[in-house]
């Protein structure tokens, strides 16, 4: 149980285009989802926290107009990188949390999406 | 603000030797603490977590960690390293009942024959 998937696993796009990454909780309802980015050989940095049905909360320094997050259902959150540029190339990882019960304090991580912007 | 410090960005051990990965945390109140493992180009897998029950926490794959409040540490150990343990390990901290995880900078574990 507690499986989180991400799609696509890899994406290569041209500078200036927008890319959408999906994060799904496959066997549980995720009241909260998190988006992280990870640069090569570095740690995960939290970008934003999203609760189902409400606006995402962005971390300081993360442009909300550039990284659009939608959490429209209890099993799906999307991250759209708008007008992507080479500096947005990174590994994007989502995680999901049930929000209550014994697993409520645990985040389950997706396998990540490697974004390369040419 | 909470933070974790992982001493040693790279650790190398021989197969069969003890694994010790260090993590120290900074928090005004006892936090929740986690260890995750990441294999190349993959997401994170939870190894173990401390949430105020027993201070010695046993996780998957033979790993364990001990919460030491006096030392503000949560070091990860495994008695005997296996080649398959080679990966990146992250220590993380969160507030009790809180949302956010704050990660350390990671330790790359190399296991040699």
| pLDDT surpassing 80 at residue B13 | yes
> In this predicted model, what pLDDT tens digit does every residue of A11-55 receive, in sequence order?
999 999 999 999 999 988 888 999 999 988 788 899 999 988 888
Pairing outcome for strands B107-112 and B10-14: parallel
Beta carbons of B94 and B6 less than 8 angstroms apart: no
| pLDDT surpassing 90 at residue A2 | no
State the best of A42, A107, A114 to mutate against chain B, taking most chain B CBs within 10 Å. Answer: A107
What is the spatial distance between Cα A107 and Cα A21, in angstroms, rounded to a whole number?
18
- Judged by DSSP in three states, B41 sits in coil
Q: Which residues of B touch A (CB under 8 A)?
A: 32, 36, 41-46, 49, 51, 90, 94, 97, 99-106
- For B61-76, b where at least 16 C-beta lie within 10 A, e where not — what string? eebbbebeeeebbbbb
Nearest to A112 among B43, B97, B102 (CB): B43
**Nearest chain B CA: its distance from A61 CA (Å):** 16
Distance of CA A113 to the CA centre of its chain: 9
Count other Cβ atoms within 10 Å, centred on residue B113.
6
What is the spatial distance between Cα B32 and Cα B53, in angstroms, rounded to a whole number?
10
Beta carbons of A90 and A113 less than 8 angstroms apart: no
What's residue B85's pLDDT?
Answer: 96
Name the residue of chain A whose CA is nearest to B37's CA: A109
What's residue A104's pLDDT?
Answer: 61
B90/A44 Cβ within 8 A:
yes
State the best of A109, A112, A113 to mutate against chain B, taking most chain B CBs within 10 Å. Answer: A109
What is the spatial distance between Cα B13 and Cα B5, in angstroms, rounded to a whole number?
21
> In this predicted model, what pLDDT tens digit does every residue of A47-106 receive, in sequence order?
999 988 888 999 999 999 999 999 889 999 999 999 999 999 999 999 998 865 556 668
Residues 7-26 of A with CB under 8 A from B: none
Which region holds residue A2: left if phi is over 0, alpha if psi is between -120 and 50, else beta?
left
Count other Cβ atoms within 10 Å, centred on residue B7.
14
Nearest to B90 among A4, A32, A43 (CB): A43
């Amino acid at each position: 149980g507690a499986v989180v998937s991400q799609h696509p696993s890899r994406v290569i796009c041209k500078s200036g285009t927008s890319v959408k990454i999906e994060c799904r909780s496959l066997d549980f309802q995720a009241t909260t989802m998190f988006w992280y980015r990870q640069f090569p050989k570095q740690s995960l940095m939290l970008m934003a926290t999203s609760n189902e049905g409400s606006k995402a909360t962005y971390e300081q320094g993360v442009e909300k107009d550039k990284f659009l997050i939608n959490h429209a259902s209890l099993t799906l959150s999307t991250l759209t990188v708008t007008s992507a540029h080479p500096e947005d190339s990174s590994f994007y990882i989502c995680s999901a949390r049930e929000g209550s019960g014994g697993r409520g304090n645990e985040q389950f991580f997706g396998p990540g999406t490697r974004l390369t912007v040419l | 603000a909470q933070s974790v410090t992982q001493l040693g960005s790279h650790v190398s051990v021989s197969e069969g030797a003890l694994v010790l990965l260090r993590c120290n945390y900074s928090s005004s109140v006892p936090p929740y603490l986690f260890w995750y493992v990441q294999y190349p180009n993959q997401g994170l897998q939870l190894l173990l977590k401390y949430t105020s029950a027993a201070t010695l926490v046993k996780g998957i794959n033979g790993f364990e960690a001990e919460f030491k409040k006096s030392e503000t540490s949560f070091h990860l150990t495994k008695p005997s390293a296996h080649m398959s343990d080679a990966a990146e390990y992250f220590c993380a901290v969160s507030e009790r009942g809180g949302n956010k995880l704050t990660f350390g900078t990671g330790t790359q574990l190399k296991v040699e024959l």
